[in-house]
């Protein structure tokens, strides 16, 4: 479904992604780990089409279509979801109105009838309960005054409502206490099915106790330096990145 070949990308003149090959089949969960600054977030931004990132070599296709050729809305419609895509606060625009627009835009592009206000309210309430956010979050301004954990829960709610085919979840565990982590993981697990895949960027094995990955990849200096199964994450937890010969330096 998602096929990345020899991808090189960067920002301005700086090369960040330096030759990534990755195939993600329907239903698979891939975890990406790696030292700070290795290019994990950049990979998500490049795939989602964020402004300013330039692909210099290689390709990425989603279900055979050239993902890199699509604009950001087309990628969303094609089923690519990047959590953190909407991290901004939009005071005055309610979470619910914002999400209804996004979901209906995607439906419109697929020639599906838009949800009515009533239909969407029902779906949104269910999603809100699922991520254990109080229902008044639907009425609040987008991310306005949300805590870190509430933003993460909100992202998972967006994912549940948008029903993407591939979800790229960046730093899924940063700033989450154990309850929020469990809720986020439950949200992801509830959306796992044979047709939907996930890329989960994480620093900690802890998250992978809850979201069991099919594959784990270590990214270092813009390249995947090792791939394996879930046991690779356990090894990283125990030994750090030293065994890969990576000179790991804490940056942020
Ligand atoms: P990770 O998510 O693995 O921590 P990033 O993708 O955020 O890594 O960053 C990879 C490298 O690219 C880092 O060296 C970072 O400083 C650099 N980088 C990221 N964004 C920019 C930018 N907007 N301008 C210049 N350098 C950037
Ligand atoms: Mg970083
Ligand atoms: Mg990052």
> How far away, in angstroms, is 33 Cα from ligand 3 center?
10
Strands 53-62 and 2-11: antiparallel
Nearest to 199 by CA among 14, 65, 20: 20
The closest ligand to the CA of 37 turns out to be 1
The structure tokens listed for 91 are: 């005071």
Report whether pLDDT(9) > 50: yes
* Cα 6 to Cα 32, 59, 212, 220, distances in angstroms: 17, 7, 27, 15
Q: What is the ipTM of this complex?
A: 0.95
Find the residues whose C-beta lies inside 6 A of ligand 1.
11, 14, 16, 34, 36-42
Q: Which atom of ligand 1 is nearest to the CA of 171?
A: 2
Note whether 225 and 219 are within 8 A (CB).
yes
pLDDT at residue 252, rounded to an integer: 44
* Cα 197 to Cα 105, 129, 167, 221, 251, distances in angstroms: 22, 23, 6, 25, 30
- Which domains, from first to last, does the chain contain? 2-244 (3.40.50.300)
pLDDT digits (tens, 9 = 90+) for 65-109: 999 999 888 898 888 988 765 557 778 889 899 899 989 988 888
Note whether 232 and 32 are within 8 A (CB).
no
Q: How confident is the model at residue 128 (pLDDT cuts 50, 70, 90)?
A: very high
Taking the C-alpha atoms of residue 124 and residue 174, their distance in angstroms, rounded to an integer, is: 25
């Amino acid at each position: 479904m998602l096929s990345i070949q020899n991808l090189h990308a960067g920002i301005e003149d700086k090369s960040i992604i330096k030759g990534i090959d990755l195939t993600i089949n329907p239903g698979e969960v891939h975890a990406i780990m790696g030292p700070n600054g290795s290019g994990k977030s950049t990979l998500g931004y490049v795939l989602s089409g964020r402004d300013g990132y330039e692909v210099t070599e290689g390709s990425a296709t989603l279900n055979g279509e050239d993902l890199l050729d699509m604009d950001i809305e087309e990628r969303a419609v094609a089923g690519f979801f990047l959590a953190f895509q909407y991290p901004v606060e939009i005071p005055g625009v309610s979470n619910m109105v914002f999400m209804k627009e996004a979901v209906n835009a995607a439906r419109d592009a697929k020639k599906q009838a838009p949800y009515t206000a009533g239909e969407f309210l029902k779906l949104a309430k269910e999603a809100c309960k699922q991520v254990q956010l109080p229902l008044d979050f639907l009425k609040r301004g987008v991310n306005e005054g949300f805590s870190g954990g509430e933003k993460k829960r909100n992202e998972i709610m967006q994912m549940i409502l948008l029903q993407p085919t591939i979800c790229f979840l960046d730093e899924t565990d940063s700033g989450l206490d154990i309850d929020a982590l469990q809720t986020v993981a439950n949200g992801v697990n509830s959306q796992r099915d044979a047709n939907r895949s996930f890329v989960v960027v994480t620093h900690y094995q802890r998250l992978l106790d809850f979201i069991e990955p099919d594959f784990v990849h270590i990214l270092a200096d813009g390249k995947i330096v090792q791939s394996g199964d879930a046991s690779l994450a356990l090894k990283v937890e125990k030994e750090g990145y030293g065994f890969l010969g990576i000179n790991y330096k804490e940056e942020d």
